[in-house]
Structures are given as structure tokens and as C-alpha cells.
Structure 1
């Protein structure tokens, strides 16, 4: 269900279940986490096989959850995988080509950079079936697009095309070849990439952030050669 390949400084992680639009089972979540956590290159590129990025959680697996405890555990597992993506040493780039739905949007939100092809579409469809995205989406979506946009998307279940996703900030670019963006980032200094990612993701109080920023700059400067 999860395929990996390394090309230069990029580990390509492919959600490889195209007959189910790359919907994720518990086993696939485990494999995805291992693929990202095990990356020993500066950039991970996350993509979907076939015509979709990711349909989110496999609904057969969701329907098979036996009771409240099992449902909560499934949500927590998805949250853990999303946090592994967000906290990885590598910069994680999501290349969205085709539909991203529910948990697929949530995995993309956990990535550091999200780029879309013109064919990409996005929707938080949980409310249409009596659920909602519980893999960290209710925290990350408003942080990325703002509370008003997040309310609209999550409560309506409407579909965004690539242009609207760009307008809302859900993606940063629309490109024909998302893999090229991962290569562009990987061409930079790997230690600088790691430090910059950590600084930008730091949610500490501003004074603490600024102190850490200065210390990180000094660490990099020690190896700086003009």
C-alpha cells in the first residue's frame, strides 16, 4: 500500500492503492509512518498513485471499528501519523494531483509544503456522512486557512478546485510537476532546511522563539563558508 524510492536527496513515498483512491487502512497508516520516520534524506515527497492523492480513511475499516474505544484509538493513530509527518527531520512536500478528501486533506495539512496540479481538488467531506476529520484536521485546518475558511469547508463539505485552494492558502503553488518542487527544495543545504523547518514550526512564546532563532543561526554560522 505504501511504496518508497529514493532519488538523490528526495525520498518519494507513494500511497499505492489506486483502485480505492489510495484510502488508508490501519496497516497503511503504520507503513506511511515508517516510511516518513525512516527517511535519511533532507526531503520527503508524498504523492498518490493513479488519479487521486488520497481519499482519506478507508470507510470499510471505519465501519469495522468495534465501539467507542476502537474509534478513539483509530483517530489517535491517524493523529500520531500526521504528527510524525509534521515533526520529521526531513522537509515533507505533498504533491496533490487529483482528489484529496477527508484524511487525505489532513495528511497534506501535516506536510511542510503543499503543491497542487491543476487537476487537484480538496474537500473535508466528513459532515456529509455523519463524521469529521479527526487526524488533527480540526487544529491544522484553521491554522492554515483561517477559522472562517475552515468552518466553511468543514461544515459544508464543498469541493475546492486548485485555484481556490491556492487562494485560501491550502496550497502554496499550482504546478504541472509537484515532484520538481521537492527537487528544488532538496537542492538547498540540508542542515539549513532542517533548522528552518524547526524554527518555522516553533509555537513557543515569541521571546523564546527569538532566542532559539538566534542560537540556531549561530550554530549554522559556525560552519558557514563564504
Structure 2
């Protein structure tokens, strides 16, 4: 192995033998804000070239949060950061572009993925989650908003209609076993084994001919990736939804309980959203 490592803002990159390992670090809660979005824009532009990385593995430097959710204090800023890639202020379109990159993308999920975190991992080609620590949630419904990062597009493709509605409307936390059962992820894997499993998978895929990998991914995207307009509509609906007076009441209550600021509250956000 001939590994090279570098840090680019919120992302630490380690490249080796056709595989790029990307570790996300956006303390204190790994929220999706303008800095992380800007770094993802730069990374996607690199992946679009198709070289030298054939496979990308995303993981988190925070054992409790992969990506917690968006930073509601910086919605305008992170949407503008996304526009540097997509030409439009929308993380839904940013995530859709991640799905279209030439590299094969794998999410190694340890800790919580809620809201945009869940949407980010669903935009990856494959998802593997640690049984003991991974938690999944689309929390937007609990705040009176439609998910704006593509959750409806991805979930309705991955799950049955009923399960997608359960996830979207109840805004509850789900463990890795349920996520696997529902089709949210490829597999739930014991914590002690996940890094080795994902690494071996990445290196195996990277050994195969590049043309075949790209052709297969492009064809699968053609058949399964929903039209751009669908993602654009959801992005606009989220922005409008969080400004609704009823939603604002719920959001302010959640913020008062520690949403977006308290690690203790964020660890049990699914419960917090269900409380009066």
C-alpha cells in the first residue's frame, strides 16, 4: 500500500490503490453547514474526473454522529455553497450529483444519520451500518417540513410505500437492524467488523476494470435515479416549510430543548421530537 493523506477543511482524505477514504469532521455535532457543503463540492468535482479514485468510502471522525442534520442557522449559506456545483441553491441537487459521480461511493455508517445525514448516505451507491451504534431518522416531518435533500426520492425507491411513509411521518429513530430490514441500508454489520468489511469491499471493486464500473453505475442511475425536477421541488418545499408559522413553533421548541446545540439532546433527538 502507498497511502497519501491530506486534510481539506471538514474532510480528511486518504488515497490508496484506487480507493479514497474520506473522514467527515465538522465539530461539534457534524452538522451539514456551508463549510462541509463547500468541501463536498470540491470533492465531487474531483470525483467527476474519474481519476485516480475508482471507489470512495465515507466515514465519520465522530463516533456518535456521522452527519447529524443540517445547520438550521445557516440554511441560506449552505444552499449557496451547493450552488457552486449545481448552479442552484439546493443540497438535494448536490446529493443527486454525488449519486452521478464516476466513482463508486460507499457510506460506512457509525453513529447518527438524521435528516440531511440520511439523505447524504442514501445518495451514496452503497450503505453499510454498525449494528451497535448506527441510528437513522428523517426528522423533518416532526418539525412540520418536507425533507429537502431528496429523502422522498430515495426512500420511495428503497422501501415500500408504507415503510417510507412510516419513516417520513413518524420522525422516529431507527437502529441498523430496522434500517437493513426496511432497505435503508445494504447490511447491518457488527461494529468491530465494519471497517474491515467495507475496506475489503472497496479494494475488491477498485481492482475491476474502470469501464465496466462506470457503465454499470450509469445504467443503474438511468433506471433508478429520479428526475432533477423532483429533487428541485423537494428542496424548495423544505425551504418554504420551515418558514411556516406552525413549523416555526415546533422548531423553536426543539431548539429550546437543545436541537442543534446540545449533544445530549441530539443523541436522543427522536425522543425529543415526540415530546410535548
Residue 220 of structure 1 is matched in structure 2 by none
Matches within 5 A, 1:48-59: 48-51=60-63, 52-59=65-72
- Match for residue 42 of structure 1? 54
1:185 to 2:199 alignment: no
The RMSD of aligned alpha carbons is 2.2
Give the drift of 1:19.
1.8
* TM-score scaled by length of structure 1: 0.79
Mapped partners of 2:143, 2:219: distance in 1: 38
- Whole-angstrom CA distance in 2 between matches of 1:133 and 1:181: 31
Q: Give the one of 82, 99, 103 matched to 2:116.
A: 103
* 2:181 paired with 1:167: yes
Matches within 5 A, 1:28-177: 28-39=36-47, 40=51, 41-51=53-63, 52-62=65-75, 65=76, 76-118=89-131, 119-175=133-189, 176-177=194-195
Aligned partner of 1:7 among 16, 20, 28: 16
Q: Is the 8 A contact 2:180 2:188 kept in 1?
A: yes
5+ residue gaps, structure 1: 205-226
1:24 and 1:199 map into 2 onto residues whose CA distance is 30
Partners of 1:76 and 1:109 lie apart in 2 by: 20
Alpha-carbon deviations, 1:166-201, whole Å to 9, x = none? 111111122322333322322322221111111112
For 1:34 and 1:7, locate their aligned partners in 2 and report how far apart those are by CA, in whole Å.
19
Q: CA deviation at 1:76?
A: 4.2
Where does the alignment leave 5 or more consecutive residues of structure 2 unmatched?
Answer: 1-9, 225-276
- Give the distance between the partners of 1:133 and 1:180, measured in 2 at CA: 33
Mapped to 2, the partners of 1:45 and 1:36 lie a distance apart of 13
Cα distance change, pair 76–142 in 1 and its aligned pair in 2 (3 A): farther
Instruction: Determine the structure 2 residue equivalent to 1:219.
Output: none
> In structure 2, what is the Cα distance between the partners aligned to 1:30 and 1:147?
34
1:14 deviates by 2.1
Cα gap change, 1:36/1:179 in structure 2, threshold over 3 Å: closer, same or farther?
A: farther
